[in-house]
Structure 1
Amino acid sequence: MSVAVNSFYSADKDTGEIRVLLLNDHEGKALVMLPAHMLLNLVSIWKHSGRHLQPVKGSDAIKFFSQTALQSTAGQKKLFKLPIYIDESIASLEQLEVVEPYTGLTFTAERQWYQDHVSLCALGLTALSIDHQQPKGNDEQVITRAVERFTTLRIQQRLEDTLGLPSLPASMQKLVELRSDPSAGIDDLVPIVRIDPSLAAQVMSWAASPYYAAPGDIDSVEDAVIRVLGFDLVLNLALGVAMGKTLKVPDDTPRDGVPYWQQSVYTAAMSELLCKKIPVEVRPKPGLAYLSGLLQNFGYLVLGHLFPPHFSLLSRYLEANPHMALEYVEKQVLSVTREQVGAWLLENWSLPEAVVDTVRFHNDLEYDGEFAQAVRLLYVANRALRTQNLADGPIEEIPDWVLDELKLSQQDIDGALSTVMECRGELDSLVHTITHAQAI
């Protein structure tokens, strides 16, 4: 289950609120308190406490902080009998305006409740301090420094040769070439699908999926492509799934996180629906919008491949900091983000520049390059899905200027989101088809 985080504060702005977090280990529970805009540095509390405290699952946090007793001052005061670790920046405050992000519980805590058994240490990091310590340079230089720092690999002349990343199979390379060829059509695509048994079986399964609601039986690959799915959809699904199949979904993912393929399929569907609502004169290509949505989280798989010993640590940090933009958590733990490594690999695999840029910058509202409309579209699709626990990351308000630029309204977003929710059964069936193919 994915747990949405209430947006009481911005990760970039100090609102004066203090975040409370429940941790535990074999010795029992403990509370952590730090300014709400800060990232909790788990390594700091491990060193300070001598305990390997871990954040509880989001669903467990909801159960704990939703207890009726915590709605009263007496219950809140009793909560503070637990061992408490407080960031030293707030040590002198007589009162703490406390917020628990999963449940929205807020209350005022008095210093006298915990002053006799509190432990003070430097726990928090701001987004600015995280950015300040990041390696400088272009994406490839940043990736190289991160790999050198967190692995024993010696970087060769070509980064992609060093990392042991899988190469694309021949059929995949042909699909990439088709995606980049504006004159390519169904007659070019069907032979490629037909000679790859795994791909052909998947295309037939997609065409039979309730989501596409094809009338009658589908008798052949040609029938599936021509009558049901169409050139763009088959090509984009085949590309996205084939790329996902080259890298394994990490084992120790954040608990309560949205499964990789569920997020990919839902983001692709939401992107396509929103794209169709944008006026033609400013509309990105729907096919590329779908493919960008399908691949928007691809860098997550690459991080798992590059940094397997550190991926579990990243997962715990993501659980401990649900309010923080994912990129800052990744920068703190790995010094590189999923957007950087994902876009870098897609570029090396010769994906269209529009897809590469959209995947790389879809969380960056300062991007004003050639594909700004596609970037904004994916940003909106992702934020909309977060409100329904269908994409990872904190809930964030979409700026009005972004909607104005896309010529979309909130009603357009709500309508597309409603369609996605109505089609959950069919979309989940498609997710099942893809994940089953990955396991073969």
Structure 2
Amino acid sequence: MGHDGSLARLVLMHDKDGKVLALLPATTLLNLANVWKLTGRQLQPVKGADAERFFGQDAVQSQSGFRKLATLPLLPLLVDERCLQYPTLQVNEPYSKTTWEVAASLLSDASHGKLATDADEIALQAPQGDDETVITSAVKKFTKLRIQQRLEDTLGLPSMSPTTQKILMLRSDPEADVHALVEVVRVDPSLSAQVMSWAASPYYAAPGDVNSIDDAVIRVLGFELVVNMALGTAMGQMLTVPTNGPRGGTPYWLQSVYCAALSEQLCKKIPQEQRPKPGLAYLSGLLHNFGYLLLAHLFPPQFALLARYIEANPHFSLEAIEQQVINVTREQIGGWLLSSWTLPEEVCDSIRYQNHLEYDGEHGPYVKLLYVANRLLRQQGLSDGPVEQISDEVLADLGLSAEVAAETVQELLNDDAAIRELTALLEGGQS
């Protein structure tokens, strides 16, 4: 919580029997399992838009409005026991951004109990070991899959297409050139159609008509971009984008394309002597959320519960929520699987450690670049996760400034229509 520990937040929940309010310390996780145990009801958070509408009412936003809320007979109030030790609480509702100052005396008639879990508790109960050990533990605990000698053989993933395997080989071959790529694209009708549509997209603004695969690959897109987009879309197409994710979240492909584009553009503004490879930065951004698809594929019942936890805790680290609900994070499982598929180490490490500024490996610039891109997009509502400030120190480590970062974001936002059209092309490639 805050310096005096008196910051709290309010969550609106509901079930078939009606609505319930929960009050808990501001920086903790609302633990739905604790709520269900305390109430005997399977309460779920309301949609973010519904919370914003409910708490946005004039009658609710005043100090007297909270008093009415806390005493409504048809709207029970649950209070985490840690909130009771302060004479006054500063209460916030994150979706409507409504705040109240609440005297403890108003809470005396509410139901009390342990509603919340903090980040330290979650970290203590998280499985220990390397990523494969943690993933294996979660698969054993939450699925009926039998762990085989090779973990990747037991995940039930579709096999890679021959074209994807060839592109992976090209990506890993330092001698591969654009002509070898053209030959791979030309013999795959689906990929050929995608490449032609990408080249014609307003986002790449190619001068003149694009009349052939050679023209699309050599003149407009180039080796790096075609390889990276083909790999990113192939990986995404192996798994279905879930329809039961957090309500109000950023669509998967829109988030991926924006993150790829911003990572690449920021990379190009890093001084030449310390600049990572823009193509690998683009691929890292395009695949940064791949583990989200894996969680939905492997853990369907738990994924639906995870979505409700994310909705109830919009301020909380997604990694911590995933550790609480599934015991493994999207970054762990995504980074591990992409590594097992021999994608470049720079990409795998940046995806695995994108939320860990303490990472001190050789691919630190890629990690920090993805960290920065993701948080800049969160500030614009174009990436999921809590809004966080980016320190000047992190930007300086990359050779960037806050001004350059803001300008780069604005340049992308100015191209929003073209980016959304490109996103639609990538989504269309799934059919």
TM-score interval for Structure 1 and Structure 2 normalised by the shorter chain: over 0.9
Establish whether residue 346 from structure 1 lines up as the match of residue 338 from structure 2. yes
Aligned to 1:101: 94
Aligned to 2:147: 155
1:301-353 C-alpha deviation (Å, 9 max, x unpaired):
01111101211001001101100010000000000000000011101111011
1:82-161 to structure 2, matched below 5 A, reads 82-116=75-109, 118-161=110-153
Question: Relative contact order, CA 8 A, sep 6+: which one is greater?
Answer: 1
Whole-angstrom distance in 2 between the partners of 1:229 and 1:258 = 27
Residue type at the aligned position of 1:100: E
Deviation for aligned residue 1:193 = 0.7
Q: Residue 12 of structure 2 is aligned with which of 15, 22, 33?
A: 22
Q: Residue 36 of structure 2 is aligned with which of 17, 29, 46?
A: 46
Establish whether residue 320 from structure 1 lines up as the match of residue 319 from structure 2. no
For the residue of structure 2 that corresponds to 1:395, the secondary structure is coil
1:173-215 C-alpha deviation (Å, 9 max, x unpaired):
1111111112211111011111111111000111111111112
Q: Residue 420 of structure 2 is aligned with which of 424, 428, 437?
A: 428
Aligned to 1:410: 402
Q: Is the 8 A contact 2:331 2:353 kept in 1?
A: yes
Q: Is the 8 A contact 1:146 1:336 kept in 2?
A: yes
1:182-331 to structure 2, matched below 5 A, reads 182-331=174-323
For the residue of structure 2 that corresponds to 1:374, the secondary structure is helix
Change in CA separation of 1:14 and 1:380 when aligned onto 2, cut-off 3 Å: farther
Deviation for aligned residue 1:95 = 2.2
Q: Is the 8 A contact 2:79 2:107 kept in 1?
A: no
Whole-angstrom distance in 1 between the partners of 2:402 and 2:244 = 36
Whole-angstrom distance in 2 between the partners of 1:390 and 1:86 = 33
RMSD: 1.3
Residue type at the aligned position of 1:430: L
Aligned to 2:356: 364
Aligned to 2:46: 56
For the residue of structure 2 that corresponds to 1:255, the secondary structure is coil
Whole-angstrom distance in 1 between the partners of 2:411 and 2:213 = 28
So what's the TM-score if we normalise by structure 2?
0.97
Whole-angstrom distance in 2 between the partners of 1:308 and 1:132 = 25
1:86-119 C-alpha deviation (Å, 9 max, x unpaired):
1122234332210112232211112333422x11
Whole-angstrom distance in 1 between the partners of 2:290 and 2:5 = 33
Aligned to 1:76: 66
Deviation for aligned residue 1:14 = 8.0
Whole-angstrom distance in 2 between the partners of 1:321 and 1:57 = 12
Whole-angstrom distance in 2 between the partners of 1:341 and 1:158 = 14
1:8-19 to structure 2, matched below 5 A, reads 15-19=5-9
For the residue of structure 1 that corresponds to 2:20, the secondary structure is strand
For the residue of structure 2 that corresponds to 1:22, the secondary structure is strand
Q: Is the 8 A contact 2:6 2:83 kept in 1?
A: no
Whole-angstrom distance in 1 between the partners of 2:10 and 2:92 = 6
Q: Is the 8 A contact 1:15 1:37 kept in 2?
A: no
Q: Is the 8 A contact 1:23 1:31 kept in 2?
A: yes
Aligned to 1:176: 168
Whole-angstrom distance in 1 between the partners of 2:264 and 2:113 = 48
Q: Is the 8 A contact 2:244 2:304 kept in 1?
A: yes
Aligned to 1:373: 365
Long gaps (5+) in structure 1:
1-8
Greater than 6 Å deviation, 4+ residue runs: none
Q: Structure 1 residues 346-355 or 66-75, which shifts more?
A: 66-75
Whole-angstrom distance in 1 between the partners of 2:5 and 2:48 = 23
Whole-angstrom distance in 2 between the partners of 1:321 and 1:338 = 17
For the residue of structure 2 that corresponds to 1:91, the secondary structure is helix
Deviation for aligned residue 1:167 = 2.1
Identity level (%): 56
Q: Is the 8 A contact 2:392 2:402 kept in 1?
A: no
Residue type at the aligned position of 2:69: L
Q: Is the 8 A contact 2:6 2:86 kept in 1?
A: no
Deviation for aligned residue 1:70 = 2.6
Residue type at the aligned position of 1:49: T
Residue type at the aligned position of 2:323: K
Change in CA separation of 1:193 and 1:99 when aligned onto 2, cut-off 3 Å: same
Whole-angstrom distance in 1 between the partners of 2:290 and 2:23 = 34
Whole-angstrom distance in 2 between the partners of 1:38 and 1:303 = 23
Q: Is the 8 A contact 2:6 2:88 kept in 1?
A: no
Q: Structure 1 residues 272-281 or 101-110, which shifts more?
A: 101-110
Q: Is the 8 A contact 1:190 1:222 kept in 2?
A: yes
For the residue of structure 2 that corresponds to 1:18, the secondary structure is strand
Whole-angstrom distance in 2 between the partners of 1:90 and 1:78 = 19
Whole-angstrom distance in 1 between the partners of 2:301 and 2:97 = 34
So what's the TM-score if we normalise by structure 1?
0.95
